[in-house]
Amino acid sequence: MSLLLSVSQIRGPILTQLRSSTSIFTRKMSSIEQFKQSPHKLLVIPGPIEVSDEVLFANAHPSMSHVSPDFIPVLGDCIRMTRTVVDTAKGQPFLIAGSGTLGWDQIAANLVEPGENALVLHSGYFGDSFAECLETYGANVDQLKAEIGAAVSQEAIAEALGKKKYKLLTFTHVDTSTAVLSDAKAIVETVRRVSPETLVALDGVCSVASEEIHMDQWDVDVIITASQKGLGTPPGLSILVASVRAMQVFSSRKSRPTSYYGSWKKWLPVMQAYESGKPSYFATPPVNLIYAFHASLSKITKSSPSLAERYELHRDASRKVKAAAQELGLKQLPLDPAFAANGMTALWYPDGLSAGDILPRLVKKGIVVAGGLHVDVKDKYFRIGHMGITAVEKSRGDVDAVVKALGETLAEAAAEKLKQANLRFGPLKDNGLMMKARL
Amino acid sequence: MSLLLSVSQIRGPILTQLRSSTSIFTRKMSSIEQFKQSPHKLLVIPGPIEVSDEVLFANAHPSMSHVSPDFIPVLGDCIRMTRTVVDTAKGQPFLIAGSGTLGWDQIAANLVEPGENALVLHSGYFGDSFAECLETYGANVDQLKAEIGAAVSQEAIAEALGKKKYKLLTFTHVDTSTAVLSDAKAIVETVRRVSPETLVALDGVCSVASEEIHMDQWDVDVIITASQKGLGTPPGLSILVASVRAMQVFSSRKSRPTSYYGSWKKWLPVMQAYESGKPSYFATPPVNLIYAFHASLSKITKSSPSLAERYELHRDASRKVKAAAQELGLKQLPLDPAFAANGMTALWYPDGLSAGDILPRLVKKGIVVAGGLHVDVKDKYFRIGHMGITAVEKSRGDVDAVVKALGETLAEAAAEKLKQANLRFGPLKDNGLMMKARL
């Protein structure tokens, strides 16, 4: 108590905080105003991305019953806000503990019956995997493959659809392995023109909330995504939205869904119950992650900047990173700027430099980027993510920090190479690397 | 700065905390010493359970790359500590984003080939669901059903195994819907005696870390569980351990696994890589939840109390709750005390009282228990969980709080009924309820 008296000489927020805590000695922090995540390196890989203090604090919510009256509306709100994010009025969201990959299983097990045909548009690593997933559940899969850095052309799509009847067409909106952004609107237009009944599934794991998406207006049938990219939440949530058409196709299927955990027969009543404020049970939802997702979705859909402004801020961040890369002589994987993602950038290492020259130097500067992922060229490029708060909250200075660190890194790496070359061969003339790095 | 001077009159931890923060006005807290979860009702349902501040703080870890050198050993450690928890030297753990239910899919899709026979021992709700899951992936399933409150007898198991060849036998170690604890050791002994090649799967969602389990010694082939019960972590992680025998059966299967997201072909290399300290990728692990799981597993397997002491503490808590219930005249669902779980208690409502009389009163006293779940008797009983820190950290006083609130609640509910009866029929003699509630 005598201690409290001396503390009382201090006015304002400190005093309030001291008084409101259980003990002024152990003074524990249990409100968001008082929570701040630990210092850490800036995470600018194409997911998981940087997560705000608010969202992380929500992930540390006290344990709650999954059927409690306090939790039910939180999941209900998440279902509604998920609709808003993909711009649909009547699409049916499914929020299930899992990774983005589980979305593929959901599509394969609920929308395709064994023996039916599926067409996979391939603009990188994730096309192959999606195709393999569909085959696992009995689909006959054809792939249309674009060269590395390109998206499949509308002509090729139209031709394939004209030759065979497909139940489903899938494409990766942004292939995280190549940063290629497919033209979702044009793809659906082609499908509706040539084969109107074919369902169109958009893999939006690396695009939802960072690239413009209008599910209803574009007439997309299924969108799958995950929590840890544009949606700014820790990983662990599979997010899927099915159109009215997709749900009709589902409910008229002849055989039962070929997955149990991913069965919409099980999940649809649960989603409907939670949305209408009632408890229901199939499998325990990831309660804490749903609180975190709620915090992030509230920011994205109900506060400033608006969704439209958010997309523009992602385009801004993207232009800045891509311009800086060009300035440094780095080439993008996407062959055409029109097909480059706005939430990430994939860059070839400059001649003479490799992952070992670049990535550890960036880490030393506190910046974590990602190596390559596309099997054929894995060791030849790296990837930078600029989604969520990194793109949207300019005051954080993330994009500037990345650009600065990238410039310094290339200069250092080039200088080091030059030094090694000089040591081995004696003084050499500038071999071009120095120019590219623009010291 | 002048403010800092006046603060400096205070000595000890407060000063250190104030100085270590970025600003003394907004003083944000970013270390576990400073984190405390928000005040909340005591959660004593049979999962999710109360989670410690340490584990919740780990769940709020800054976002990290799933392939970073900092994260890889964290997942690697979790794999090793999962082995310790189920007491196996060579079992293969699989840690995948999902709920406990995903463990059934993994078993059905990896260990059973379409057309093979499976025998499901049914001691409650979860037997039916597991059976349906196995059928989804093409198994021919027979169920051996015990009456409500009982476990299937060894004689019945031996008889069934003698009649037909089964690839797999499954049982729910603790059925969360009935609190029936099956005798795992005896079940495996029966199987090895009658049908030694049959794989035995233990559904330990409601038993791992709260009921004694010795995977190797008992010769169990698969154990599935989830993060949110005895393991004291938020929900969202499917945890499975497969024996050497199970992995051999898996690797010699003729058809490919019938799930993609749950395919061990995909996950085995990933688990092996992380355990040996190398990055690998199939689907993004739930990074934050893995940090939380790591915090909880470290406490469970590497600190005091030991695992053996932990089981004893669960038995202690269980005895206390069950004795208090008996004292109050409440009967357990399990017909035989030898088959009652130690991590939870299921109790019939006393005559004349129902959920509406009991559960809301407990909530008003800050105690959240669970209603019934077994379809046939859903509205006739309720369930109390006493797992994890609620059972182990006696200083929290959780069990005492539950016992006290339960006694008060029954007395109030009985008094209220008596009052209503008196109002309707005029003064009545004690109708037995008051006696049962032991005011």
How many Å apart are CA A162 and CA B294, to the nearest integer? 53
> How many whole angstroms from its chain centre is CA B5?
51
Q: How far, CA to CA in Å, does B418 sit from each of A127, B189, B352, B364, B431?
A: 68, 52, 10, 21, 8
Q: What is the CA radius of gyration of chain B?
A: 24
B289/A236 CB distance under 8 A: yes
Q: Is the pLDDT of residue B30 over 60?
A: yes
Q: B16 burial class (0-12, 13-18, 19+ CB within 10 angstroms)?
A: exposed
Q: How far, CA to CA in Å, does B305 sit from each of B55, B291, B295, B309?
A: 17, 21, 15, 6
Nearest to B36 by CA among A251, A57, A281: A57
Q: How many residues does this entry show for chain B?
A: 439
Which ranges in A252-338 belong to alpha helices (H)? Answer: 264-275, 287-302, 307-327
**Rounded to 5°, angle at Cα B281 from B275 and B287:** 70
Q: Lowest mean pLDDT: which of A14-28, A172-186, A283-297, A348-362?
A: A14-28
Q: Cβ distance A62 to B38 under 8 Å? A: yes
Q: So what's the pLDDT on residue A32?
A: 81
SS3 content of chain B, % helix, strand, coil (to 5): 45, 15, 40
Residue type at B281? Answer: Y
Instruction: Provide DSSP, A289-305.
Output: HHHHHHHHHHHHHHSSS
Instruction: Provide DSSP, A209-246.
Output: TTB---HHHHT-SEEEEETTSTT-S-S-EEEEEE-HHH
Closest CB to B36: pick one of A7, A28, A282.
A28
Choose, out of B50, B132, B284, the residue to mutate when testing the contact with A (most A CBs < 10 Å): B284
Contacts of B51 in chain A (CB under 8 A): 62-63
Q: So what's the pLDDT on residue B13?
A: 35
Instruction: Give B29's pLDDT tier (boundaries 50, 70, 90).
Output: low
Contacts of A281 in chain B (CB under 8 A): 373
* Section B360-378 average pLDDT: 96
Q: So what's the pLDDT on residue B428?
A: 57
Closest CB to B236: pick one of A67, A256, A286.
A286
Q: What token pair was written down for B174?
A: 């603790």
ipTM of this predicted structure: 0.91
Dihedral angle of Cα B423, B427, B431, B432, to the nearest 10 degrees: 110
Closest CB to B132: pick one of A36, A235, A260.
A260
A60/B63 CB distance under 8 A: no
CA atoms within 13 A on the CB side of A359: 22
pLDDT in tens, B165-214: 999 999 999 999 999 999 999 999 999 999 999 999 999 999 999 999 99
Neighbours of B339 (CB within 10 A): 21
Residue with tokens 């400096």, as numbered in its chain: B8
* Section A414-423 average pLDDT: 90
DSSP B27: -
B283/A100 CB distance under 8 A: yes
pLDDT in tens, A123-148: 998 999 999 999 999 999 999 999 99
Instruction: Give A401's pLDDT tier (boundaries 50, 70, 90).
Output: very high
Instruction: Give B43's pLDDT tier (boundaries 50, 70, 90).
Output: very high
**What region does B232 belong to: left with phi over 0, alpha with psi -120 to 50, or beta?**
left
SS3 content of chain A, % helix, strand, coil (to 5): 45, 15, 40
* Section A168-186 average pLDDT: 97
